[in-house]
Amino acid sequence: MTRLATAVRLIGAFLPMVDFFIVNLALPTINTTLHASAPMLELIVAGYGTAYAVSLVVGGRLGDAIGRRRMFVIGLASFSLTSLLCGIAPSIGVLVAARVLQGMSAAMIVPQVLATFQATLEGNARSRAIGLYAATGGVAVVTGQLLGGVLLDANIAGTSWRPIFLVNVPFGIAGLLLAPRIVPATRSPNPAGVDIPGTTLLAVTVVALLIPLTEGPALHWPLWLWGVLALAPIGAAGMVAVERRSERGGRTPLVPPSLVRLPNVRRGLLLAVPFFLGFGAFTFVFALTVQNGLHRDALHSGLAMTPMALGFFTGSLLTARLYERFGTRLLALGFALQAVGLISLVAVVAGEWPNVSLLGTIPGLAVAGFGQSLGLGALFRTVLAGVPQHLAGVGSGVLVTVQQGSLALGVASLGTLFVSLSADSARDAFVVVVGIQTLLAIALVFASPRRSPSAAEPAGSVPAAAH
């Protein structure tokens, strides 16, 4: 696979990543122009993440079946179209619906990237491509903050927040023109079928949590919302039963029970949920705090997050080497650095409010971002190190599904808590929510495994794809 083909694949992966981070900066502006309620603002973020999470494994398996290049092109076309729909949305309801469709489109793109690397590259070439993929996540964090702030501050032709979505379109078109010519066509010789019952029950479970958490406080928890919430454990129990029966029947379910029973996977997923829940909430809360609480513009909000983004990017470049040296002990180190950075940030914000110097937040944000990156990279490697090779794609798909679902639920739960508390005091709301994330990080330090480097996965060895 040529360098240009690799670049096209990485651009395809980059667009969905950057879209999660860039939209947080625009929420206050969207609120002003579309007169959105707080729950609808949360759904702009959480709806995208939920649709992405639920559709991810399906997207990977469709790529295996009909061809990864074909699925990549379909996903890129859909993502470009839904980005356009987001950019021209006349109302908040249309925007939320378009974001859900955009999340589904993202799930068609991302699984094909790593799967193609796995199918067409070997040895050092594969490791380099996967390393570039990991670094792309760091670049997406940086770009999302800076580009979002610049576009919102520029207010191009009076279009306000709309360019943050429209900017995806030319990149998508460029990818569509290049991909059919230069990206190799691959597919799985033995593709697993799409687990429709499992996918449906996962969607029911996540949505049954998402809707009450976002709408409950604003609607004062009517009886029907409690009924929706009660569907979550029912859906979860039904999913467990369906997945067990599917695996016993010789099929590959959405979440294979035998995979979850593996010690590495079980422990890793338990670590992943609180980590991503806190991370998803933080990006939502920080943008609202800077713009609504400290009354700074979107450009300052984006610049304020840049130290965390740069710390994250730096960590993503070092994780493979550090994991080779420290093994799973890197998990505890990363989570500890995250906690230290968040404690520093809370101290600055609480102590200097309302005249918080954004320069004073730089050390805490940079350390937290660096720690998050180390923890994230070590988490993926630790979970997937013990997964059998024939289940590598399925294992990565389960982990990324948990990642996206937890990011969405973080916004729905801690984001809702922040919105409720900020009506009285944005300072107190920030301290409480980031304080909860700090406690989660500290708990993760103590819950992390301690395994020697000799037992760890070799640096650069990452599973095939999110199927």
DSSP state of 415: I
pLDDT higher than threshold 60 for residue 321: yes
pLDDT band at 17 (very low <50, low <70, confident <90, very high): confident
pLDDT higher than threshold 50 for residue 322: yes
What per-residue confidence (pLDDT) applies to 458?
Answer: 44
From residue 250, how far is each of 243, 253, 288 by CA, in Å?
11, 9, 48
Q: If DSSP codes are grouped into helix, strand and coil, which group holds residue 109? A: helix
pTM: 0.84
Least confident of 105-119, 217-231, 349-363, 408-422: 105-119
pLDDT higher than threshold 90 for residue 235: yes
What per-residue confidence (pLDDT) applies to 1?
Answer: 56
What per-residue confidence (pLDDT) applies to 393?
Answer: 65
What per-residue confidence (pLDDT) applies to 61?
Answer: 84
pLDDT per residue over 263-287, tens digit each?
888 888 899 999 999 988 998 899 8
From residue 21, how far is each of 64, 375, 392 by CA, in Å?
29, 19, 28
How many angstroms separate the CA atoms of 44 and 50, rounded?
Answer: 10
- Please give the average per-residue pLDDT across 125-147, as a whole number: 74
Bond from prior residue into 449 cis (ω within 30 degrees of 0): no
Least confident of 9-13, 166-170, 281-285: 9-13
pLDDT per residue over 175-201, tens digit each?
899 988 888 888 777 777 788 999 899
How many angstroms separate the CA atoms of 36 and 38, rounded?
Answer: 7
What per-residue confidence (pLDDT) applies to 461?
Answer: 43
What per-residue confidence (pLDDT) applies to 144?
Answer: 82
**Average pLDDT along the chain:** 86
What per-residue confidence (pLDDT) applies to 402?
Answer: 87
Name the percent of the chain lying above pLDDT 90: 41
**∠ CA 365-150-86, rounded to 5°:** 100
- Please give the average per-residue pLDDT across 4-16, as a whole number: 85
pLDDT higher than threshold 80 for residue 299: yes
What per-residue confidence (pLDDT) applies to 127?
Answer: 64
pLDDT higher than threshold 50 for residue 465: no
What per-residue confidence (pLDDT) applies to 81?
Answer: 97
pLDDT higher than threshold 70 for residue 460: no
Backbone angles phi, psi at 80, to 5 degrees: -65, -45
From residue 245, how far is each of 98, 253, 401, 427, 467 by CA, in Å?
35, 9, 21, 50, 20
How many angstroms separate the CA atoms of 363 and 341, rounded?
Answer: 7
How many angstroms separate the CA atoms of 448 and 332, rounded?
Answer: 6
What per-residue confidence (pLDDT) applies to 451?
Answer: 65
How many angstroms separate the CA atoms of 276 and 260, rounded?
Answer: 18
Least confident of 13-17, 87-91, 113-117, 440-444: 113-117
Among 171, 231, 214, 230, which residue's Cα sits nearest to residue 17?
Answer: 171
Q: What is the 3-state secondary structure (H, E, C) of 58-82?
A: HHHHHHHHHCHHHHHHHHHHHHHHH
Q: If DSSP codes are grouped into helix, strand and coil, which group holds residue 285? A: helix
- Please give the average per-residue pLDDT across 277-300, as a whole number: 90
